[in-house]
A = this chain, B = another copy of it.
Amino acid sequence: MEIIGKPLNRVDAKEKVTGKAKYTGDLVDSHALIAKVLHSTIANGLVKSFDLIEAWKVPGVIDIVTCFDVPDYQFPTAGHPWSTEKKHQDIADRKLLNSRVRFYGDDIAAVIAENEIAAITAVRKIKVTYEQYEPLLSVEAAMQPGARPIHEEKPDNVVVHSSYEIGSFEQAIQEPGLIKTEGDYETPIVQHCHIENANSFAYMESGKIVIVSSTQIPHIVRRVCSQALGIGFGDIRIIKPYIGGGFGNKQDALTEPLNAYLTTRVGGRQVQLEYTREETFSCTRVRHAMKFHIESYVRKDGSLAARSVVAYSNQGAYASHAHALVANAVNGFRMMYPVGAIKGEAYTVYTNMPTAGAMRAYGIPQIGFALESHIDDIIAKTGFDPIGFRKQNMMKLGYVDPLTTITCHSTGLAECIDTGEQYLQFLKKRELYAKQTGPVRKGVGMAIFNYKTGVYPISLETSACRMLLNQDGSLQLQMGATEIGQGADTVFSMMAAQTVGLSVDKVHIISKQDTDVTPYDTGAYASRQTYVSGMAVKKTAQVFKAKILDYAGFMLKKDPVDLDIQDNFIVHKNKTEHLLSVGEVALESCYSLTNSHHIAAEETHHCTDNTYSFGVCFTEIEVDIPLCQIKVLDIINVHDSGIIINHQTAEGQIQGGMSMGLGYGLSEHLIFDQKTGRMLNDNLLDYKLMTALDTPDLHVSFVETQDPTGPYGNKALGEPPVIPVAPALRNALLNATGVAVNSIPLNPEKLFVAFENAGIIR
């Protein structure tokens, strides 16, 4: 019975396609009060006073809370594990409502009303007097000497400045004969666009504040709420039902801390705080816009001699995940092409822009675009073979990152490249397309990536799991790790079934996390779940299986070490005759008059390893130069994510990531009024997300390696697919037109400027 690797349907498929799955909004009581937040209409300044007279007159208004009323606790929102070490703690730089306004859309007051219309009406009737400052929208503006501090704790608006150097960069570049390539690359602010907006509701029960929320990180949100309200962890309870996507946005405490406070204002009555799409765009989190300056020095033999990067990350108004993103980016820069001399420097800078937080692949799509564009710039300059050059310089098996010690335990990257090359006939076409003329031209491009699996050793990796044996021999599987649409419940069920020796239909996974009863896990992020939480499943399943075998041994009067479980039956090891069903063991263990024992196991896995996933994107495009339009003709992602637990769900995950990558490369970016800092396209009509009609067929292939550290030979898969698409598109554009566009999205406005500058249109 080999379950791992089977292309099984998702365990929640039926529930979701029939519309029965309950999301946060489906669980709200029909009598719940509705809260709405008043967001600032300036980007930088102070709230001086409110006039609430007209707002209070609105029928149905129950309470109005302003930034002058909330508890005086500063708290962080990032979905990172807490640490008992100060330096590992996130920056606590906001209150539940803020009188110091830091972006257009900051939370300054809230209304609780009997219904949504009353709440909205009252919010609109609140009059605010501000003291207004000049908005600092760009990193450059915020870093200008004399710029007004956005947070007084950071007088120069730099949240963190960090750097590393391996070997001596200055010495290395003295080597004679080196070819220097340098470039500047820029990525935009984009948004996650999960289907389900930020949404929670809160109430009080048994002396606790209970918050039901669409979150990726219930246990972390519990801690954040306890910090925000100044009460114990144990006095907060977070429940996470099914959620309609997160992509990292919900790896932050969003509506929950304020919602937790609001219910305390109304004696514990249920209060819903649901963001509209517009609020979700403006007032939750966005992907960090980053700027990179990269320099590379190449020897004539094609080997890299020295590399450097300087990165600037636009943090927006609040710290959220802060420097972790750009640090990840400059670390990823180092890891992809190991070289004797390398340096990196990174700035994370407060601005009066929406707060940037986690988003799928956490800084790596940014550096991925910059680095893989830069590699093709080197190729263009030197004439090396783009595949040969990459293969020569890229990370190899056994690589140990000098700063993090993360080791390359397995790699199928070369095979991934070969598979993609063969699929697209890349080299042949590349040569062919380099010689085109005329208004419509084709091009091929590629980009590779590596991606860590989880956050060890930078941060804590820990996960717990609990299993309970039902009396019919089926298994209740309780995970701290969260299903957020990515298919985690399905792979956990498969892992549990495989290790215990049950069929998958005997595994009942509990999708809902409830911090009162759910084992601890930090949540869904960093492509950590099949790896880190998978280790917890495996460890718990082994203990659980041993307990079943112990009891079976007692029943059979046999030594349990001679027994095994195969396909729901107890057997002699290496034999197939059924001695007992697991159901019989379950019944007897529960109801024996002499020896009842309720079989359960609960284990923590503290993970102290990490490993790299790899992959590549190859794409072929057609560029209409006069129209400044790109059409994707073909695209393939080839991934080494170790052993694939479930090919069906893995393929879906890759396709979703590729779609997100296409939007990142071609069309998505948030636009702001440069005077006020107001977001101008905060909706799904004006924000150009890829639709089904925009999306070509998405081809996916896997190179399966057996990673020795993965619990089932597996490694990161969830986030990586997004990474290589944008640079592959940019490199294809370069191949088609000879024009290097170093800023995404590659939309018509940008191509027009680039083509005009290059003189191919006028």
Residues of B within 8 A of A506 (CB): 234
Residues of B within 8 A of A597 (CB): 604, 606
When C-beta atoms are compared, the residue in chain B nearest to A269 turns out to be B20
| A206–B15 CB distance below 8 A | yes
With known contacts A20-B205, A83-B591, A510–B517 Cβ distance under 8 A? yes
- Is A214's CB within 8 Å of the partner chain B? no
- Is A598's CB within 8 Å of the partner chain B? yes
Main secondary structure on A side of the interface with B: loop
- Tell me the chain A residues, 465-486 only, with Cβ under 8 Å from chain B: 466, 468, 470-476, 478
Residues of B within 8 A of A114 (CB): none
- Is A593's CB within 8 Å of the partner chain B? yes
- Is A212's CB within 8 Å of the partner chain B? no
- Is A519's CB within 8 Å of the partner chain B? yes
| B472–A232 CB distance below 8 A | yes
| B84–A223 CB distance below 8 A | no
* Distance to closest chain B CB from A706 (angstroms): 27
Measured in the bound complex, the distance between the Cα atoms of B506 and A103 in whole Å is: 41
Measured in the bound complex, the distance between the Cα atoms of B206 and A511 in whole Å is: 9
| B588–A22 CB distance below 8 A | no
Chain B CB within 10 Å, residue with most, of A84, A516, A596: A596
* Distance to closest chain B CB from A479 (angstroms): 12
Measured in the bound complex, the distance between the Cα atoms of B602 and A519 in whole Å is: 12
| A517–B478 CB distance below 8 A | yes
Measured in the bound complex, the distance between the Cα atoms of B655 and A573 in whole Å is: 60
* Distance to closest chain B CB from A148 (angstroms): 36
Measured in the bound complex, the distance between the Cα atoms of B89 and A587 in whole Å is: 13
Measured in the bound complex, the distance between the Cα atoms of B506 and A207 in whole Å is: 12
Chain B CB within 10 Å, residue with most, of A204, A471, A510, A511: A471
| B510–A84 CB distance below 8 A | no
- Tell me the chain A residues, 230-246 only, with Cβ under 8 Å from chain B: 232-235
Partner among B232, B468, B470 whose Cβ is within 8 Å of the Cβ of A232: B470
Kindly supply a per-residue 1/0 record for chain A positions 569-608, scoring 1 wherever the CB is within 8 Å of any chain B CB and 0 otherwise.
0000000000000000001101111111110101010101
> Could you show 27 A-B contacts with beta carbons less than 8 Å apart?
A15-B205, A30-B30, A85-B593, A206-B508, A207-B508, A232-B472, A232-B474, A233-B472, A234-B470, A234-B475, A234-B508, A457-B593, A459-B593, A460-B591, A460-B593, A462-B596, A462-B598, A466-B602, A476-B517, A478-B517, A508-B516, A594-B606, A596-B606, A597-B604, A597-B606, A598-B604, A600-B602
Of all A-B residue pairs in the complex, the 7 with the closest CB atoms, nearest first, are A234-B474, A232-B472, A234-B470, A462-B596, A233-B472, A520-B598, A233-B471
